[in-house]
Amino acid sequence: MDNQAGIWLAAVICTAPVIILVVFIVQRLLRISRNYRAVAEKWNGEYSSSLFAMHRRIQFSHAGTAVVFRVWVQRIFGRYTQLCAAWPDSELLLECRTRSAWDWLFEWRSKRVRTSEREFDSRFVISGEPEQHVKNLVTGGVQAAVLQIQRVNFERRLVLTFGSGNLTLVCRGSLREEQHIDALLRGFCELYDQLRLVDTSKIAFVAERSTSSMEPPTCQICGEEIMESAVACRRCNTLHHAECWKYFGSCSVYACGELRSRKAKLSDWKSAQLDMPANVEDDRTPKS
């Protein structure tokens, strides 16, 4: 009996630290999840996470544009934070990243765009085209917003890019406290607003062109016109072929990613100023 009791005692002593560590990790993950959920509620958005919180996601709307905030883990390079919002100028190519030792070493070979602020140029490397448009875009307000984002992210490396019609910010590391997460979102939205002040004419032109189009909507997955068997995204109301949605599994709009769809109704086609196909349900008629 003494030997058996000794074995049990040794087992308890050996496993106790492991149990305490597991409980600590679980409580820590739950606390971080509560912080992200609180921020999502503050921004009237939605929060989701994967198993063991390897990936976190907040989606909300700012200035009529969907914004996606993601945190993910890479086994080699650690955690990354990404913010993405749709941008109407798909032709603009721009990258603004934290300056590294390699940039100093190979500065003579780089084709960087310089601003009027030497201090900003000493901390960040800007490249893109058309060059004059990039210079006009990086105003004092834009620079202040970028510096604010870097301060919130504890001066860690960040990369800001325009490409394929999206404004994307990627930062090394992840934030855990509610006030820091909220400050990062506010910094990104301030950056977006400052950029809009510079590019207002471009945005107004794109918005006017999209609302006045009389052509049938195009499925973003297959590229064909949508004339029948249509479904609409529950979040952004974008029309898709029903078979294409089933194949793709979610909304094709990059900054949306909604997994749920619904049958296309008359209001979806009216919003596109199109005649309703015969097989589309008229949502103005009350159901029996």
62 CA to centre of own chain: 12
pLDDT at res. 25: 79
The tens-digit pLDDT sequence of the chain (288 residues) is: 566 766 777 777 788 777 787 777 778 888 999 999 999 999 999 999 886 667 899 999 998 889 999 998 766 567 889 999 988 777 778 889 888 777 666 665 667 888 888 889 889 989 887 788 888 889 999 999 999 999 998 878 899 988 777 899 998 888 999 999 999 999 999 999 998 888 544 443 333 333 334 455 677 676 677 766 788 888 777 888 888 887 777 777 655 667 788 887 655 555 544 444 444 444 433 343
By the 8 A CB rule, do 134 and 142 touch?
Answer: no
Structure tokens given for 28? 């820590």
> Beta-carbon neighbour count of residue 45 at 10 Å?
20
Q: What is the pLDDT of residue 87?
A: 83
Q: Which helix (H) or strand (E) holds 20?
A: helix 2-42
Residue 273 per-residue DSSP state: T
- Residue 38's identity, in one-letter code, is A
Residue 77, helix vs strand vs coil? coil
Domain edges within the chain = 6-204, 214-288
Centroid of chain to Cα 82: 6
Distance CA 151, CA 128 (A): 24
| Amino acid (one-letter) located at 123 | R
Residue 231: both structure tokens together: 């479904």
CATH number of this structure's domain 214-288: 3.30.40
